[in-house]
Structure 1
Amino acid sequence: MSYKNILITKENSIATITINRPTKLNALNKETIEELHKAFQELEKNYETRVVILTGSGEKAFVAGADIAEFSEFSVEEGVQLAAQGQDILFNFVENLKIPVIAAVNGFALGGGLELAMACHFRIASDNAKMGLPEVSLGVIPGYGGTQRLPQLIGKGRAMEMILTAGMVTAEDAYRMGLVNNVIPQAELLDYCNGIAQKIMRNSPLAISSAIKSINANYKDGENGFETEIKSFGKCFGTEDFKEGTTAFLEKRKAVFTGE
């Protein structure tokens, strides 16, 4: 499938999605959100894809925000639909993807860009990255999950401060807060993320999917994370990956997982 606003490369079961709107600092518009949904959907169906790295084109921005011109004249009803649809087809979709998604945050990650990075399973930032949710300076609030995921990651007080001041934080500040897992020189960012992806791929794809589901369950209303973990743990015992993993351990060799 061909895309207008994103690029996809694949190597050794690692897919890299690059948001490619450099003249707009990779800002998210409706078309880009829909393309990202389709791309993630296709990659999840492809059993050869084991990890996805998400980044932005150029050195200035991961995603500098949403495309404000696209919704500046929206009504209340249109605003509600914009947030609901975006959360459904992209942000929540990425969070619940069965394969790990690493956000390689190069440069600015603002508004919808930071919300997209937070929807990924974890984040690695370039040393020039700056992050923030400046929506209140436009008379609106984060609508793609920012008011929910930011407190989960850095705590209520810090999230309140970031959102209410509309301020940005540096990559090092984000690291100290727990918003990103590590800070890497920009030239080395994708290589570092690929290195993490290689480590992930040594492990059972089925177990990884179950771990993602169980971790996410703790943050969902009406779902008991411990119960989800117990059920997922039990299901692992019926997989070929479990048999291979335990046999390899006992035989003192490296496991070869098939995802079955």
Structure 2
Amino acid sequence: MILTSKKVNENYLKVFINNPPINMFDPAFSLELRTLMDELENDENLKVVVFESENPDFFIAHLELLHANDFPKGTGKTGLSLSWPDVAKRLQLAPFVSIASVRGRARGFGSEFAQAMDMRFASKEKALFAQVEIGIGSFPGGGGMERLHLLTGKSRALEIILSGNDFDADTAAAYGWINRAVPDAELDDFVDNLARRIAGFDKNAIARIKEILNERAVSPTNEQILDTQTKFFESLQWPEATNRIKALFQKGLQQNGEVELNLPKYL
């Protein structure tokens, strides 16, 4: 199992990510996430879900590139692709609150996974965020092109996406990428206390607040999300992208080692 969960109380669930060696988002992860989303939506008592990693070095490293064509095909409940966009949209529309508690590296899809949550908190000392797709000759395909600029503004989103660099939690917080950076020793208690507090309020009020904010906010359309994802997977076949990806694998991409720990250095 990649995703395991623990009921803190009847209104509050914690989900733990563990996909060795570096928590990549692969087809198996995608299938489990879809199943989990069905369970979350069917839990009438659920008010808060917190996602965290069991690997202190990697929240979610990035998309697993060797099997990029093997993700589930078809259309999900929202009219979006089954692999990830559908789940992300369902999290946005869900009557419960989703929170990412980030330790380690959240690059590429890892960053986009966190962006899809309602809130994001990160370890001041141990979290790193990046959109590294430019380094393989591509661009974000899991929502980064649609959601990141809504959090950071256009110019900072361009800095993040075009640099392919790591950003520490303090900078991510200053940019609006995450809610706040929290000292690592305090992160678990901070997120837990917030989740428990939200879980103590009326679910109808929580759901209505999210509904109204979703109506007021600028959100990407299904067509925009599908268009970007289609173009992203097409870009992986570009000659420059295939050459860059091959070179990165030769250096140690997708292995738990120096390249993944310091990925922007090798792009």
Task: Note if contact 2:73-2:82 (Cα within 8 Å) is conserved in structure 1.
Answer: no
Instruction: Give 1:1-260 correspondences, 5 Å limit.
Output: 4-12=1-9, 13-23=11-21, 25-71=22-68, 74=69, 84-127=81-124, 128-217=126-215, 218-220=217-219
- Whichever of the two has the greater Rg, that structure is 1
Deviation for aligned residue 1:119: 0.2
Q: Deviations over 1:27-62 (max 9, x none)?
A: 111111221121122122112322100111121111
Relative to 1, partners in 2 of residues 1:221 and 1:16: Cα closer, same or farther, differing over 3 Å? closer
Task: Note if contact 1:22-1:57 (Cα within 8 Å) is conserved in structure 2.
Answer: no
Task: Note if contact 1:15-1:51 (Cα within 8 Å) is conserved in structure 2.
Answer: yes
Task: Note if contact 1:87-1:145 (Cα within 8 Å) is conserved in structure 2.
Answer: no
Task: Note if contact 1:86-1:144 (Cα within 8 Å) is conserved in structure 2.
Answer: no
Corresponding residue for 2:232?
A: none
Q: Give the whole-Å Cα distance in 1 for the aligned partners of 2:23 and 2:185.
A: 19
Residue 166 of structure 2 aligns with an amino acid whose one-letter code is M
Q: Give the whole-Å Cα distance in 2 for the aligned partners of 1:69 and 1:150.
A: 26
Task: Note if contact 2:47-2:95 (Cα within 8 Å) is conserved in structure 1.
Answer: no
Deviation for aligned residue 1:79: 10
Residue 92 of structure 2 aligns with an amino acid whose one-letter code is E
Aligned pairs, how many?
213
Relative to 1, partners in 2 of residues 1:80 and 1:151: Cα closer, same or farther, differing over 3 Å? farther
Tell me, what secondary structure is at the counterpart of 1:15? Answer: strand
Q: Give the whole-Å Cα distance in 2 for the aligned partners of 1:196 and 1:117.
A: 17
Residue 133 of structure 1 aligns with an amino acid whose one-letter code is Q
Task: Note if contact 2:146-2:220 (Cα within 8 Å) is conserved in structure 1.
Answer: no
Q: Give the whole-Å Cα distance in 2 for the aligned partners of 1:41 and 1:94.
A: 11
Structure 1 stretches lacking a partner, 5+ long: 223-260
Deviation for aligned residue 1:6: 1.0
Structure having greater relative contact order (Cα 8 Å, sep ≥ 6): 2
Mean Cα deviation higher: 210-219 or 135-144:
210-219
Tell me, what secondary structure is at the counterpart of 1:22? Answer: coil
TM-score, L = length of structure 2: 0.74
Task: Note if contact 1:103-1:122 (Cα within 8 Å) is conserved in structure 2.
Answer: yes
Deviation for aligned residue 1:126: 0.8
Q: Give the whole-Å Cα distance in 1 for the aligned partners of 2:180 and 2:211.
A: 23
Deviation for aligned residue 1:158: 0.3
Deviation for aligned residue 1:185: 2.6
Deviation for aligned residue 1:15: 0.6
Relative to 1, partners in 2 of residues 1:64 and 1:117: Cα closer, same or farther, differing over 3 Å? same
Aligned residues with identical type, % of pairs: 28
Residue 203 of structure 1 aligns with an amino acid whose one-letter code is F
Residue 186 of structure 1 aligns with an amino acid whose one-letter code is D
TM-score, L = length of structure 1: 0.76
Residue 215 of structure 1 aligns with an amino acid whose one-letter code is L
Residue 216 of structure 1 aligns with an amino acid whose one-letter code is N
Q: Deviations over 1:66-89 (max 9, x none)?
A: 111212xx59xx9999x9433433
Query: Cα RMSD over matched residues?
Result: 2.3
